[in-house]
Structure 1
Amino acid sequence: MKLFGPLYERTIALARHPRASLWLVLLSFFEAIIFPIMPEVMLVPMCVAKPKRGFWFATISLAGSMVGALVGYFLGHYAFEALKPVFAAVGLLHGIEAGITIVQAKMAQSPWAVFTFLVLGGFMPIPMKVFTWASGIVGVPLLPYIASMAVGRGKRVYLLALVVRLGGERAEETLRKYIEPVGWAATVLVVGLVGWLIVRAHGA
């Protein structure tokens, strides 16, 4: 069953839309708080469609993510208990609680141990919202938190922009050719990571 190919073609068309940059910023913002789709699914096609503007697209995506990360942090700090039923309804509660357990363990070491973990976590295909809410709930100091979000997400978006910029048309042809296996592999990986977080949370 072909799923990711048609989605890729549709996203490429959207990436060429005059308001694509605005949609990318909004997607990056909401993904850091609640939305399940990572901004890379729009960022990569936008970089492919306009390679010379790739670093600009990465920058505005990072800016949207950073604002969303701050909103997610403060919502986690002040509103998590009230919003627990919402997260349970959309299947995110276990993941966030698992994130809380991990962040608490890192906090017991030092705030900068949390920084290192969040930087590494920002490069994994785990929804950013798990870390933004967990950090706010646990009370990670704001300076290490902001720095880790900027470095963790920044290295992802700029690396993607660089790969597409260097690869040019070949990058687009390769992505188009292997979009189905790559898409399904990423899906399996994300599901596996979420399952691991849930098991870890129950075992804690």
Structure 2
Amino acid sequence: MLRRMYDWCIQAADKPYALWILGFVSFAESSFFPVPPDVMLIPMSLAQPKRAWLYAAVCTVTSVAGGVLGYAIGALLYDSIGGWIIQLYGYGDKVEAFRAAYAEYGAWIILLKGFTPIPYKLVTITSGFAGYSLLLFVVFSIITRGARFYLLAFLLNRYGPKARQIIEERLGFWVTIGALGLIGGFIVVFWVF
């Protein structure tokens, strides 16, 4: 199954709908969806290393747009949808600590957590819930999400053929490492706050 999904992403890189799907996954991940856009960004960039910059731009723009939706969920709908999403990820009891930290470290929280495998939707929803400045939230989201996706684009553009060979030889291993990073992100959020 893993190989089929990887092969589909590689083959879809040439299709016109691939950018739309990549954008949707990136948008959704910033507000409610658990799967990061890296699952498509990496294989598509490996298939088309010269287009990695375009893929990074799509991920950045749609991730920030999805972040604004997450912010709106936190600011306007926290009592219904926002709280439910936070509870779904098991962080309901951590939101107040996260909100208090925003008063002092809001910019650093957005910049650091937006670059890591910590689920970005937790940052976006809590930013809205905490009443963090929307303008600053958008600026810091552009910086951190752009840095994350463009760093991947740089690496995949520069080392694409070699990286593709390494990844394809041990696909299960690299997916496991990615999954552990994502799970580690959840654990860090859980234990830090």
TM-score calculated relative to the size of structure 1: 0.84
Q: Does 1:145 align with 2:151?
A: no
Contact 1:74 1:136 in 2 (8 A): yes
- Structure 1: 5+ residue runs without aligned partners? none
RMSD (Å), alpha carbons: 2.1
Deviation (angstroms), 1:15: 2.6
Contact 1:62 1:154 in 2 (8 A): yes
The residue aligned with 1:61 is: 59
Query: 2:101 is aligned with what amino acid?
Result: A
Distance (whole Å) between structure 2 residues aligned to residue 15 and residue 97 of structure 1: 41
Contact 1:96 1:134 in 2 (8 A): no
CA gap 1:100/1:136 in 2 versus in 1, 3 angstroms: farther
Count residues with an aligned counterpart: 193
Q: Report the secondary structure of 1:46's partner residue.
A: helix
Distance (whole Å) between structure 2 residues aligned to residue 176 and residue 80 of structure 1: 42
Distance (whole Å) between structure 2 residues aligned to residue 118 and residue 75 of structure 1: 17
After superposition, the C-alpha distances for 1:157-192 in whole angstroms (9 at most, x for unaligned) are 101111011113112112212332221122223223
Contact 2:99 2:129 in 1 (8 A): no
Q: Does 1:101 align with 2:97?
A: yes
Contact 1:99 1:197 in 2 (8 A): no
Contact 1:95 1:194 in 2 (8 A): no
The residue aligned with 1:10 is: 8
Deviation (angstroms), 1:196: 4.0
Q: Does 1:126 align with 2:118?
A: yes
Deviation (angstroms), 1:84: 5.5
Contact 2:3 2:171 in 1 (8 A): yes
The residue aligned with 1:193 is: 185
* Identity across matched positions, percent: 26
- Structure 2: 5+ residue runs without aligned partners? none
Contact 1:62 1:157 in 2 (8 A): yes
CA gap 1:170/1:88 in 2 versus in 1, 3 angstroms: closer
After superposition, the C-alpha distances for 1:17-49 in whole angstroms (9 at most, x for unaligned) are 221011111111111111111011111111111
The residue aligned with 1:74 is: 72
Query: 1:106 is aligned with what amino acid?
Result: Y
Deviation (angstroms), 1:96: 5.8
Give structure 1 regions of 4+ aligned residues with deviation exceeding 4 angstroms: none
Q: Report the secondary structure of 2:36's partner residue.
A: coil
Q: Find the partner of 1:23 among 21, 24, 34.
A: 21
Contact 1:99 1:134 in 2 (8 A): yes
